[in-house]
A and B are shown apart, each in its own frame.
Chain A
Amino acid sequence: MKFLLNPNSFQNITNLLFKPILIVSLVLLILGLIFSFYLSPNDYQQGSTVRIMYIHVPSAWMSLMTYMIMVIYSIVALAFRIPFGFIINTAVAPIGAVFTLICIITGSLWGKPMWGTWWVWDARLTSVAILFIIYLIIIFINNSFENRAVREKIVAIFILIGSVNLPIIKFSVDWWNTLHQPASISKLSKPNIDPSMMTPLIIMTLALMLVGISIAILRINTEITNRKNSL
Chain B
Amino acid sequence: MSLRFQRLLLILVSVIMIFVAVLLILYNGRKNISYFYTPSELASLKIDIDKKVRLGGFVEKNSFIKITASSFKFKISDDLKSIDVAYQGLLPDLFREGQGAVIEGYMTKNNVLNATSVFAKHDENYMPASIKKGLENTGYWNKNY
Contacts and interface: CB of A to CB of B under 8 A. Distances in A.
Interface of A: 41-47, 50, 53, 75, 78-81, 113-117, 120-123, 160-161, 163-164, 167-168, 175-179, 181-184, 192-194, 196-197
Nearest to A156: B11
Nearest to B130: A41
B117 interface: yes
Contact of B92 (A47, A115, A192): A115
A75 B118 CA distance: 45
Given A75-B8, A79-B11, A179 B126 contact: no
Query: Interface size bucket, B side?
Result: 35 or more
B26 interface: yes
Interface string B19-36: 100100010001001111
Residue from the set A41, A115, A117, A160 with the largest chain B CB neighbour count within 10 Å: A115
Contact of A79 (B8, B37, B90, B128): B8
A164 to B, nearest CB: 5
B92 A44 contact: no
B128 A161 contact: no
Contacts of A45: 94, 122, 145
A123 B128 contact: no
Contact of B124 (A47, A168, A184): A184
B7 A78 contact: yes
A164 B18 contact: yes
B76 to A, nearest CB: 13
B131 interface: yes
Contact of A192 (B12, B26, B126): B126
A177 B119 CA distance: 14
B94 A43 contact: no
Contacts, number: 125
Contacts of A192: 124-126
A123 B124 contact: no
Q: Is the interface of B mostly helix, strand, loop or mixed?
A: mixed
Contact of B33 (A41, A176, A193): A176
Nearest to A168: B26
A194 B120 contact: no
Contact of A78 (B11, B102, B117): B11
A43 B35 contact: no
A182 B124 CA distance: 6
Nearest 10 A/B pairs, CB to CB: A116-B92, A41-B128, A122-B35, A79-B8, A44-B132, A177-B34, A184-B124, A79-B7, A176-B34, A193-B126
Contacts of B95: 116
Given A79-B4, A164-B19, A168-B26, A114 B93 contact: yes
A43 B127 contact: yes
A176 B30 CA distance: 7
B120 A114 contact: yes
Contacts of B122: 45-46, 114-115, 181
12 contacts: A44-B127, A45-B145, A79-B11, A114-B120, A115-B92, A116-B117, A116-B120, A122-B35, A176-B34, A179-B121, A194-B128, A196-B128
